[in-house]
A = this chain, B = another copy of it.
């Protein structure tokens, strides 16, 4: 836990100005080949800021300036916080040998993630250069699903035998400067099984000679290596933990997930939800080619496209009506657009509510009834306006009736469907974020068009 940090808030004008000055100074020192002053200047910058500075430097200078970071532990910290494209640049443009010393300092979980993303040949090259310990840790971490507790945990945790005394425990903490964050002391038995936990503060409150198992808390909140990362995040959030221990199937302590990993999980899951709702995927990254990105977005669009063609076919069947009442086609976009809009609103409220826990599956009926009323209210409002507009623009009472009734029906139906489906998906353990996806959207579109022409045939008596 580093606390020696810059005091200007990220994103503030003062921070931006300061960062700009640092970028310029560092680049100037680099161009003048003033290596000693460059190293000294860099050593005083917080790793998180140094990563931001490297991102702003001319790409051609980045690799050299990165290697001017004298302290390999700091270099690892900086590397860890670089944007993906800069990391890729470093991995491709500097020799693996030169980087191995730096990467060895990465927390094992981050190192494993990185190695997991490398192409096969680079992966083997790097693994061969790692020390025995790092290699073993990485290999064991690589077995776990990246979205499980095992995949996000660090093996850099701190545990002690529960038979030690408080005094011995404190002595132990003093001697171990390398571990990431210590707030809870996990206590294990002689088989390495997790048996209790004690907070650093409790240690301070207890007399030196007391054995740890007398003061430890035996009901430890824990997860297993295969627990889903979303569940881990929910637990840490719900019980306001700073870290949660991870055990294997025999209750042997194998790692811990800290609250900063949980923040990453929450951001990642939210991004995934949002992209899923929009019909793309988190596998799309800035470094992908346009063609690759297009391929990722294509399937969702394809489903929507097939739905669109189906709508085209439906409209084609009613060509006769259209031929007689041409103006009906002018109202197609507004009628379909409004239903789509209200549907997205309802679905977003439901999907986000389920994700944050504000909405529970047991709320389905009241929620659906409420959305029914919301849809009716909005549909009635826009129905009346559209009816009046249709009547006055085209001096046709029939047109007014048709468009007014259709938009009322379509908006109500869309709101209803858009809240009902996420709730059903959640109950069926399907990700509710897909509920705004192609099938629902095109179902609303096709039913909406059909409704339009059925009402039109009826009112125009065609």
- The chain A residues found within 8 Å of chain B, CB to CB, are 1-7, 9-12, 46, 48, 55-56, 81, 83-84, 170, 173-174, 177, 181-184, 197, 199-201, 204-205, 217, 219-223, 227, 231, 234-235, 237-242, 259-260, 262-263, 266-267, 270-271, 274-275, 277-280, 284, 286, 290-291, 293-294, 297-298, 300-301, 304-305, 307-309, 311-313, 315-316, 319, 322-323, 326-327, 329-334, 336-338, 340-342, 344-345, 347-349, 352-353, 356, 358-360, 362-363, 367, 370-371, 373-374, 376-378, 381-382, 385, 389, 393, 441, 445, 449
B5 touches A301 (CB 8 A): no
B residues in contact with A389, CB < 8 Å: 309
B333 touches A308 (CB 8 A): yes
B residues in contact with A293, CB < 8 Å: 370, 374
Taking the full assembly, how many copies of this chain does it contain?
A: 2
Name the distance in Å between A244's Cβ and chain B's nearest Cβ.
Answer: 10
Name the distance in Å between A332's Cβ and chain B's nearest Cβ.
Answer: 5
CA distance A219 to B46 in the complex (A): 11
Known contacts being A231-B12, A330-B312, is A3 close to B199, with CB within 8 Å? Answer: yes
A358 touches B327 (CB 8 A): no
A312 touches B297 (CB 8 A): no
CA distance A314 to B358 in the complex (A): 43
CA distance A217 to B378 in the complex (A): 58
Known contacts being A267-B266, A304-B338, A330-B319, is A222 close to B311, with CB within 8 Å? Answer: no
Most chain B beta carbons < 10 A, residue from A5, A309, A315, A338: A5
Known contacts being A242-B1, A294-B377, A330-B312, is A286 close to B199, with CB within 8 Å? Answer: no
Known contacts being A290-B377, A363-B286, is A219 close to B7, with CB within 8 Å? Answer: yes
CA distance A441 to B340 in the complex (A): 12
CA distance A422 to B2 in the complex (A): 34
B residues in contact with A291, CB < 8 Å: 373, 377
Q: Nearest B residue to A219 by beta-carbon distance?
A: B4
B332 touches A308 (CB 8 A): no
Known contacts being A204-B170, A221-B5, is A329 close to B327, with CB within 8 Å? Answer: no
Most chain B beta carbons < 10 A, residue from A10, A338, A449: A10
**Given contact pairs A10-B231, A301-B378, A315-B330, a sample of 18 additional A-B residue pairs in the complex whose CB atoms are under 8 Å apart:** A2-B239, A7-B219, A174-B204, A174-B205, A278-B349, A280-B348, A286-B353, A286-B367, A290-B377, A291-B373, A293-B370, A294-B381, A300-B341, A304-B341, A322-B329, A329-B332, A333-B333, A333-B445
